């Protein structure tokens, strides 16, 4: 068996307060090694993404705890919504095992959010966020089952319905449900 190495880019959120504070301090006090700016238009908005990448980990407490850590990333996004004329701002922070290549990191992080947003939209439509499952691992298990069901619905070629229509059809038609579970096409 061959085990290959892979690089990683991890978003840093409020649940890692020490790490997040260290990245923010680094971005505030140290000069960026690389910067990149990208502008995208689509879906009724214009987005400018400014990516700053630092290789200096000296202000980060416990940097050695993050195996392979090579860079800190700050993405400052500005979104102009054409329909409303409003502009929104958002800043995100990431850590990466990649060497400071701002264009590569800016593009990779943007692509990840595109995939994430598409998946979350479908899950939001299915009202996963309203779930009240809290005991033990129930929420994680149910989320996994939802993703499996979503995958089965998307792979089905026997119906021309969209995902919500296929869900409804599977709930009311036992034969169609069995076709989905068998992975029929």
- Residue-level pLDDT at 143: 74
Confidence of residue 116 (pLDDT cuts 50, 70, 90): very low
Q: Residue 107's CB: how many other CB atoms inside 10 A?
A: 15
- Residue-level pLDDT at 115: 43
Distance from C-alpha of 7 to C-alpha of 167, rounded to nearest angstrom: 37
Got the DSSP string for 34-96?
EEEEEEEEETTEEEEEEEEEE---TTSTTGGGSTT--EEEEEEEEEEETTTTEEEEEEEEEEE
Confidence of residue 33 (pLDDT cuts 50, 70, 90): very high
| Tens digits of residue pLDDT in 52-101 | 999 999 999 888 888 889 999 999 999 999 889 999 999 999 999 988 78
Q: Which of 34-48, 146-160, 169-183 has the highest mean pLDDT?
A: 34-48
Kindly report the backbone phi and psi dihedral angles of residue 79, in degrees, each rounded to the nearest multiple of 5, phi listed first.
-120, 125
Q: Residue 167's CB: how many other CB atoms inside 10 A?
A: 17
Confidence of residue 113 (pLDDT cuts 50, 70, 90): low
Confidence of residue 127 (pLDDT cuts 50, 70, 90): low
Q: At what angle do helices 174-181 and 138-155 cross, to 10 degrees?
A: 100
Percent of the chain with pLDDT over 90: 35
| Cβ-based burial of 17 (10 A; exposed 0-12, middle 13-18, buried ≥19) | exposed
**148 and 162 in contact (C-beta within 8 Å)?**
no
Q: Pairing state of beta strands 45-54 and 71-81?
A: antiparallel
- Residue-level pLDDT at 45: 85
Q: Span 135-150, mean pLDDT?
A: 76
- Residue-level pLDDT at 157: 85
Percent of the chain with pLDDT over 70: 82
């Amino acid at each position: 068996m061959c085990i290959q190495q892979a690089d990683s880019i991890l978003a840093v959120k409020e649940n890692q307060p020490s790490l997040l504070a260290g990245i923010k301090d680094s971005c505030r006090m140290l000069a960026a090694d690389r910067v990149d700016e990208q502008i995208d238009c689509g879906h009724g908005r214009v987005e400018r993404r400014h990516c700053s990448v630092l290789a200096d980990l000296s202000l980060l407490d416990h940097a050695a705890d993050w195996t392979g850590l090579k860079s800190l990333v700050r993405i400052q996004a500005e979104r102009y919504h054409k329909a409303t004329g409003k502009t929104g701002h958002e800043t995100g922070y990431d850590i990466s095992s990649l060497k400071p290549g701002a264009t590569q990191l800016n593009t990779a992080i943007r692509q990840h959010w595109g995939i994430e947003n598409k998946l979350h939209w479908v899950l939001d439509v299915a009202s996963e966020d309203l779930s009240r499952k809290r005991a033990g691992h129930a929420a994680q298990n149910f989320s996994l089952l939802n993703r499996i069901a979503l995958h089965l619905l998307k792979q089905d070629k026997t119906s021309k319905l969209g995902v919500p229509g296929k869900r409804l059809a599977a709930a009311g038609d036992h034969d169609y449900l069995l076709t989905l579970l068998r992975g029929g096409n």
